[in-house]
Amino acid sequence: MYSRFTVLAAAAAALVVGGAVALGTSAVDPIGADPVAYSGPLDPAMLQAYQRDLGLNESQARYAIGAEAKATQVEQRLQRELGAGLASSYYNAGSHKLVAHVNDEATATQARAAGAEAKVVPVTGRQLRADLAKLDAAQAPKSVTGWYLDATTNKITVTVLKGASADAFLATAGVAKDSVAVRESDAAPQTTADLVGGIAYNINGSSRCSIGFPVTSGSGGGFVSAGHCGTAGSSVTIGGQAAGSFTASRFPGNDWSLITTNATFKPTNRVQGHSSAITGSTEIAVGASICRAGSTNAYTCGVLQGKSETVNYPQGSVAGLHRMSACADPGDSGGSVVAGANAQGMTSGISGGCASGNPQTWFQPVNPALSALGAKLVTGAGTEPNPEPNPQPCAAATPWNVGTAYQPGDLISHNGHVYKATYWSTGVQPDSPVAWSSWADQGAC
């Protein structure tokens, strides 16, 4: 008898807790028949996380998902059109719009024309990146726990342990003290690997981490996870069964790894507890909702709080991490971080876990990891042995057309799949990374 396991992404969900970035009841406009609301399927676990962690009912969650998808499209457009003229940007949960920080009124006019709120600020993106590079090059003391660009203020923030000073570190780096904000942290960030056996995947028969995203590479099928979970050559078991080994791993510096699995395990594009299958890896804007899951805390939600942050772990500094308010605990390391149908990254470390009143979780962005590893996300449902032909013919649905205006309920075919419209759209290609808010994949045909 053919025996196999399915390699699932240990899904991640993160949305804001409480009122810090107000996505609460009072911040969300009435739904009515507003076409911005997402009308596709929502997994019960995802809805539960939105309600528990964000205080959003189903209607409010659908409104937020739709508005965030639009803001992501606006951010991508501004990144293309403004380039270095876009200093920073974030999603405003109160107005449901992207806020763009720019340096002059002419650029602000362009940003508003694209659908963003624009704020003129004095510090350019080039200046900010130059100062961040100086901080990355300096040797940070243990009392300095990290640094990042706060997209909501367009200013660099340096975090220190309570009672500590950042003055000496800033002087060594050559960064002016008055150009940064210093914030105290109750505890230093720590990685989240757990030295006990259990579910998810185990490394060398002892430590436990969570599966990230199934991928294919030159080594075959497998998945990406956190680098601190294991070193190259470390053995991996899943459910007590030999599964493969670490092919590559990097930590500190970055926090990614590639695990190659044997033929018993079938990679898929599914994420545990998440409504959407993974079809791409487009990054969302700071301030948008995001989700994570792992083997300790199955599914939690929050908002994306920051990008490209440097975290000074006890084992060494890691640059380029993103930060979110979704909580995680030991054992959740490597678990998937997702937004809609897009992979965002793999859980790296925490400052305050799920029992904390103000949890912060950092994750390794997936795109740089895939590039470094020469790996590709699995964006199809996987291949069953000797699959039966799908009885649904492509001819039963009208081929997608770039110029046609579609409305919820429309069925089309595209690139060997049938899609159902969940949102009003024109020109949104059904298999593109941003299509999750407009189309639901009904399967191959």
Instruction: Give the span between the Cα atoms of 213 and 129, in whole angstroms.
Output: 30
Structure-token pair, residue 212: 């990230």
Specify whether 275 is catalytic: no
Instruction: Give the span between the Cα atoms of 402 and 12, in whole angstroms.
Output: 32
Annotated catalytic residue: which of 96, 101, 228, 322?
228
Instruction: Give the span between the Cα atoms of 296 and 290, in whole angstroms.
Output: 18
Specify whether 333 is catalytic: yes
Give all strands (DSSP E) within 251-313, no chain letters. Answer: 256-261, 265-271, 289-292, 300-313
The closest alpha carbon to 274, from 302, 299, 303, 304, belongs to 299
Specify whether 194 is catalytic: no
Q: Which amino acid is at 227?
A: G
Angle of helix 58-82 versus helix 105-113 axis, rounded to 10: 130
CB-facing half-sphere around the CA of 68: CA atoms within 13 A: 27
Annotated catalytic residue: which of 43, 53, 131, 255?
255
The closest alpha carbon to 289, from 94, 23, 43, belongs to 23
Is 75 in contact with 270 (CB distance < 8 Å)?
no
Annotated catalytic residue: which of 219, 257, 333, 425?
333
Which is it for strands 265-271 and 5-9: parallel, antiparallel or unpaired? parallel
Q: How far is the CA of 229 from the CAs of 53, 54, 206, 265, 434, in angstroms?
A: 27, 30, 11, 20, 31
The residues carrying an active-site annotation are 228, 255, 333
